[in-house]
Every structure is written in structure tokens, then in C-alpha cells.
């Protein structure tokens, strides 16, 4: 090569600013960008993943790390969740396929990383428990909806001037307390815990409403400012499984503190 041509070629190389990397075995090659290098010849690799078989096409000089990126699209497993074995030995991400003997139609075994698999199983179990708890809360909610209709019926009767038997208030209050006990027995986490707390407070509001209606029913001419206080310690109902102790029945002479106008 003439001197001028050699000089021109070197200038072109410098302009391209080629980055180099050292591959296993001491081979110095041009550094590739992130992702799989699609240049050069490709080979088909058979990948065994449990009962599944995958066939993927990758560059013949790709690394196992690049193969994992391709398999991530096929299996849904992130590269960090994969372990690739060739000829019975696990391969590192920076090892090149052709350097360890991987050729067209070679077989590679894909295993899911045990730690990742265990984490997924735990997450699945947790989700199942949350789903089960949500279903239990939903059943209580349905029962509370039915009881709330009876509360509305009592209130409507009182507005119409009917004096309601005291046992009606006592019975409904006991039925609501049963629902609180059910809620307290539900082991809830995450969204289920939120739903349980909402339902607990909803039941509490109905019990308080019954206390107010009961006091109003026994003394319809009392002023709203003389209403008695509801003594139930509701904080015990948010403590978790087994924490709930049903409070003693309120005396019929109890005064209610709630403002009656909210029920009109």
C-alpha cells in the first residue's frame, strides 16, 4: 500500500472512533452497542425451558447475555432471572456463543433463577391471600347492605310517627356486631386490609345511628342538644384478627350525641 493510501485509511479509522473490547480467549474485537448485534451470520439455537422448547435466531458471535435478551421476549423472564446452561455448564453473560462451541441447531438449557422463582411464588401466594380476604370482606358487605335497609325502614317508620319496639334496635345492633366479629376474623393485607377497615367503619356508623334512633324513639320530644354519648370503644375493631371484644349492650337510658338533623 502506498504511503498516502495508508495515511488516508488511518485517518478514516480515527474519524470512526472505534471502541474495542477484549473477549474471552484474548480476542480483541470492535465493541458492540447495547442490544443484540444483528450484523454477521446468524444461527438457530434450540432452547429447552422446562416442558417448553424455543427456537431463536441470534448472531453467531453473540454473547450469552445477548441471548438472554432474546429469550426474555420469548419467555417473559428478565435476563437477570435466567440461567443458561450449555453442555451441562452454566455460562456467564459475557461469554461468546462461538467461543464455547455453540453452533447452528445447538441445544441450550434455560433455568429460572431459584431466588427469582421463590420470590414469584411468594408474591403469588400473597396475592391469593389478598384475593381470598377481599372475597370475605365482600360477603360481609353484602350482609351489611341488607341490614342497612332495615335501619332505613326503622328510620322511615319513626318519621311517620310510629313508635318502634325497643327490641328492634337491640336485635339490629346485635346483628351489626356479628358482622364486626366476622370482619375481625379476616386476616387481611394490602388492599384487603383497606377494604376491611372501610367496612368496619361503615358498620360502626350504623351502630351509632341505631343508638341515636333508639334514644330518639324512647324520648321523641328531647332536644338534639341533650343527646347521649355513644360509649363503644371502636378503636378495638381496627387492631386485627382476634382483637375484637363485643362491647356490652348500651343501657336504654343512654343519651345520644349525634345531631338528629343529619337523618332528616
pLDDT, tens only, 254-263: 444 444 333 3
Q: Contact at 8 Å (CB) between 213 and 227? A: no
Residue listed under C-alpha cell 435476563: 79
| Element containing residue 106 per DSSP (H, E) | strand 106-112
Mean pLDDT of the chain: 77
What is the Cα–Cα distance from 202 to 47, expressed in whole angstroms? 55
pLDDT band, very low/low/confident/very high, at 38 (cuts 50, 70, 90): low
Query: Phi and psi for 225 in degrees, rounded to 5?
Result: -75, -15
Domain ranges of the chain: 33-112, 127-263
Q: Contact at 8 Å (CB) between 133 and 192? A: yes
Do 33-112 and 127-263 fold alike per CATH? no
Q: Is residue 65 over pLDDT 80?
A: yes
The top-level CATH class assigned to 127-263 is: mainly alpha
pLDDT band, very low/low/confident/very high, at 250 (cuts 50, 70, 90): very low
Give the pTM: 0.50
| Element containing residue 29 per DSSP (H, E) | strand 27-30
Highest mean pLDDT among 5-19, 101-115, 241-255: 101-115
Q: Is residue 219 over pLDDT 50?
A: yes
Residue listed under C-alpha cell 332505613: 152
Burial class (CB in 10 A: 0-12, 13-18, 19+), 156: exposed
Q: Is residue 59 over pLDDT 80?
A: yes
Residue listed under C-alpha cell 416442558: 51
CATH number for the region 33-112 comes to 3.10.20.90
Average pLDDT of span 162-181: 93
Amino acid at each position: 500500500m502506498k504511503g498516502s493510501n495508508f495515511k488516508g485509511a488511518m485517518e478514516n479509522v480515527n474519524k470512526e472512533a472505534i471502541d474495542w473490547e477484549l473477549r474471552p480467549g484474548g480476542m480483541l474485537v470492535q465493541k458492540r452497542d447495547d442490544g443484540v448485534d444483528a450484523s454477521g451470520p446468524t444461527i438457530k439455537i434450540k432452547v429447552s425451558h422446562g416442558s417448553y422448547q424455543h427456537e431463536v435466531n441470534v448472531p453467531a458471535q453473540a454473547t450469552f447475555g445477548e441471548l438472554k435478551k432474546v429469550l426474555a421476549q420469548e419467555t417473559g423472564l428478565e435476563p437477570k432471572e435466567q440461567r443458561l446452561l450449555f453442555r451441562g455448564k452454566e455460562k456467564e453473560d459475557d461469554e461468546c456463543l462461538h467461543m464455547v462451541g455453540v453452533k447452528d441447531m445447538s441445544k441450550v438449557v434455560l433455568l429460572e433463577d431459584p431466588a427469582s422463582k421463590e420470590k414469584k411464588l411468594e408474591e403469588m401466594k400473597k396475592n391469593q391471600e389478598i384475593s381470598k380476604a377481599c372475597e370475605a370482606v365482600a360477603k360481609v358487605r353484602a350482609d351489611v347492605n341488607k341490614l342497612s335497609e332495615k335501619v332505613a325502614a326503622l328510620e322511615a317508620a319513626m318519621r311517620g310517627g310510629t313508635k318502634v319496639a325497643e327490641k328492634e334496635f337491640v336485635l339490629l345492633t346485635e346483628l351489626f356486631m356479628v358482622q364486626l366479629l366476622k370482619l375481625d376474623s379476616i386476616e387481611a393485607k394490602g388492599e384487603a386490609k383497606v377494604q376491611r377497615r372501610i367496612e368496619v367503619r361503615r358498620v360502626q356508623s350504623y351502630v351509632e345511628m341505631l343508638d341515636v334512633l333508639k334514644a330518639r324513639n324512647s324520648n321523641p320530644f328531647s332536644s338534639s342538644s341533650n343527646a347521649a354519648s355513644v360509649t363503644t370503644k371502636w378503636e378495638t375493631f381496627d387492631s386485627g384478627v382476634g382483637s375484637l371484644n363485643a362491647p356490652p349492650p348500651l343501657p336504654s337510658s343512654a343519651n345520644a350525641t349525634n345531631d338528629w338533623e343529619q337523618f332528616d
